[in-house]
Structure 1
């Protein structure tokens, strides 16, 4: 809207310029118009680049949001399949607490692991992006005994949301 108002006011100013070539002020007014046109072009370019940056940021946020939505789905499905195949140890069902190594990722993902108030095990979840383009995420589980800090089990999974090409 700001650009629009600026352009309208500039157009109105140029309409006021004298077209009569005999007028001494015409040359000055034409010079004013030329400089005003250059200023307008700079101003428009500045806002075009700002707008492109805004669009790129919004696109990146959308890509990120879709990525984490897919990962949440894949992670829940994968964990369900692991439990169905009896891969996690019996201690898995006695997890009292979870700690994430990556706060940024933990804000965007919801752990499908069920916690038990009277559990005696702690789960560390190490999660990191495999690529910066939000195409894959690695999640590693480290299950430890809360009392003696012994590592009970560790397991890692890679979740891909896009196919990789060589």
Structure 2
């Protein structure tokens, strides 16, 4: 199994004398927001982007994932399971459709929108996970956001 990660890394360029191409980032600094894909501790693909480009800007993510998956399947093994991990900046129906079309698994942190904030009080069947002194409760369910064509697995977690 190959587990990949994708994220934006903010590069702060506030102190530079020359700032060609620098834009304000979501972290309120003037800089850049390159998109990086990693495999363990290795960066395996990157796209240098302006600071005002959010995680899922344009079709860059989709193209990067398609390219990397194609390379893995061509040069390693066509049937290797691939899982992509990402944060809520990549929580997008279009990306999920792409991942499913490519036949890869994905784990994406979700946005806690209003109707999800109200959900925990209504749910039963919570399970516990404990690591040392940290305790989490979680519950699994199917979820379909407003424009989604299908249900997807949702694991709702809360720290106890």
Give the TM-score taking structure 1 as reference length: 0.21
Structure with max Cα Rg: 1
Of Structure 1 and Structure 2, the greater helix share is in 1
